[in-house]
Structure formats: structure tokens, C-alpha cells
Amino acid sequence: MVAVGWASSAALLSAASVTFVFTSDLHYGIHRGYFRGDANVEARVVNAALVRKLNALPSARLPNDGGWRADEKVGAIDFVIVTGDIANRQELHPLRIQPAALSWQQFESGFVAEFALKNARGEPAPLLVVPGNHDVSNAIGSPNKMVPATDASAMAGIYNRMMRPAIPRTSGSYRYETDKIQVARQFGGALCLFITMWPDRGARAWIEGELRKVPATMPVFIFCHDQPDIEAKHLTNPNGRHEVNSHDKFENVVADVCVDGPTIEAPTTTVQRELADFLKSHRNIAGYFHGNSNWNEFYTWKGPDRDLALAVFRADSPIKGKESGTDETKLSFQLVTYDTTAQTLTARECRWNAKGKQDGDAVPVAWGTSRTISLAPRAK
């Protein structure tokens, strides 16, 4: 069942408690080293197994861990968010990786088409997607050689799914400079913001406008690909014509220019400080969810000057997880539950392949670590 379509950003879902799934970095087009007894397993096979585990999730029981809804049945899922890298970068080295068009087709046929989760009203749960640096690089070009040199299929697909333009974008008509994913939706009294890559200056201006539409006490969550302490290589090249090239190696997937140095080894203190200042002026931004560097982690981002306390949630990747890449029992996604009346959110690590080669569709998920936070405006 395909979970697409939704009400306008102004629509407020009435459920008192909200449950959603958070995962990232599906990387269609490459292989996982080992999975359930087989070696060199295609991403489409691994991700298909992930979808089947997601579809079975409502019948699972939450752990008795003291978090929100502890020891209850999972039940309905209000939405699922994937924070990027649907398609792997279509590089030539060391082997030719399939074009983004084929990776996006595999995502639609093997993930979207098989997705069967429903919300509390029995409607298809929205499957929300924001792009990652691999998706963007496929569209605009990369410092590394790609074949074809560009293919915007995945970016056009993500844009059409999230933005619902009157005229759908195609691989040929999609333009990264103007076609940004910026979606605001309210779920259960919280404002969820889905953005392209990272909260750069342009995204922050849009977020500012969305925040003016809601009370200053409403909890806000940001979903994007990059971590708050962004890597320099994802910023725009500060050299010469600011282009993507094999010498400077900047990817130009974020519009902000790297002003702290001319190489991708430069710090990113300036742009991080600008983001931190923005967050300090909007203390109802309660959570930040990202992929890119992939392992399950719940942490607090303090900003470059250590004067901030933002709850951050980092997701594992089914294909390129830092820990799960070599230990398949650590493959995970996060199940997040919150209630804005209770002002509480609990994120739980959900290990969906905990028995390794003995795992399968009938094996229940296992629970790992968790974090519970307050949804009240932050003190700093």
C-alpha cells in the first residue's frame, strides 16, 4: 500500500499521542557486506526486509523502560521519515554504481509499494522523505567521476512526493537551486519541519516564517540529512567560481559557503554559530533528527560555543551503518512517541535484525537504548 498524500501544512492531527518511525540512508545501488547468511547483498534486498519489519511493528510491545507509553502495544504509526540518501552516488570508482534513476525505481517498487503502515484513523501513514548528499550530488554533479555525470531522478522523485507541485518535476526539469524540499506539518500538536540537507540561511528564513504561524510554546522538530555540526565538504566551495570540481572536492549540497578555510578539512565554526544563534532564539525547537554519519545515537548538541542544549537524534543506516555495517545484529531504526499535553517524547532504538542470520520476518524486533526528553521550551 502506497502511503502518499496528506492535508495541508496547517492541518493539525488530533491524536493526543503520536508515534513515528525514523530511519535514514537507504543507499539503493550498492551492496551490504553480509546479511542473514549471505555476502554482498544488494541494498534492495536489505531494505525490502526492513519494510517487512516496519509493517509488522504495530503488533510489537514497547519495552517497560519508564519512557512514554512504556509497556504498551505499539499500535498505529502516524508517519515514517527517511532522512536522505535514497540513492547512492552513481560513482564509477571502484565499480560502476547504478544510476539514480534505477535506484529511485527500486525505492518506489521495493519500499514505497510494499509499505503498509496505517495511522490511528486507518489511513495510510505518510511516508516522508528528505534528500541526502548522495541524492543531491547525483543531480548536480560530484567531485568524483559519475556515470552518468548527472541524474536528477531521485531528487525529482523526492520533490514531487513532498512538495506536490502542479507540474511534477522530471530528471530533466528538476533544478536544485530553486526546487528545495521545505514541508511543514503538524502532528498531535507539534510542528514537524522537513528540509533539504541542513538548516542553512535559506532554510532558516523559511523556518522563521513557519514559526510565526504557531504559538511560541509549540514543540518543533527539524528533520534533515546533515548533523548540526556539518561537514565542510557539504558546504559551497569558497574558491574560484565556487564550483564542484575534483581539485577542491566541495560538494556544494548546502548553499552556505565554507568561510572558515579553503579546503574540506576546514572547521565549520561560522555556519554552526549562525545555526546555534537561530536555535537560541527559538527555544521551542525541541528536537533535531538526522542521518549522514550513521549509527543510533541520542545526544545533546551544545553548539560551537557550548551555550546551547538541543536534543539530537541520529539514525543508523541499513547499508552503511558505522556499527551495524559490520555487525548486522545492530541494524536499527528509531521508534519515537510523544504527547504534547504531557510534554514528553521518548525515542527508542529498535533493532530489527537482532538475531542476525537467524532473523526473519516472523522474528519480533528487539529494543535497545532509549532517551526521554521534555517538550517544554529549552532553557538554553
Residue 286, helix vs strand vs coil: strand
Sketch the domain layout of the chain as residue ranges: 17-374
- Overall average pLDDT of the 186-193 stretch: 97
Yes or no: say if 328 and 35 are a contact pair by the CB < 8 Å rule.
yes
Closest CA to 15 of 75, 66, 82, 65: 75
Q: In the block, which residue shows the cell 526492513?
A: 50
Instruction: Name residues whose C-beta falls within 8 Å of residue 309's C-beta, 6 or more positions apart in sequence.
Output: 300, 302, 378, 379, 380
Closest CA to 264 of 228, 236, 300: 236
- Check residue 306 and report its DSSP letter: T
**Which helix or strand (DSSP H or E) is residue 367 part of?**
strand 366-374
Amino acid 1: pLDDT:
30
pLDDT digits (tens, 9 = 90+) for 306-340: 999 999 999 999 999 999 999 999 999 999 999 99
pLDDT digits (tens, 9 = 90+) for 58-100: 999 999 999 999 999 999 999 999 999 999 999 987 788 999 9
Yes or no: say if 30 and 296 are a contact pair by the CB < 8 Å rule.
no
Q: Note the pTM of the prediction, 2 decimals.
A: 0.95
All three cell numbers of 328 = 548486522
Least confident segment among 91-100, 122-131, 235-244? 91-100
CATH number of 17-374: 3.60.21.10
**371 vs 59, 69, 334, CA distance in Å?**
22, 13, 11
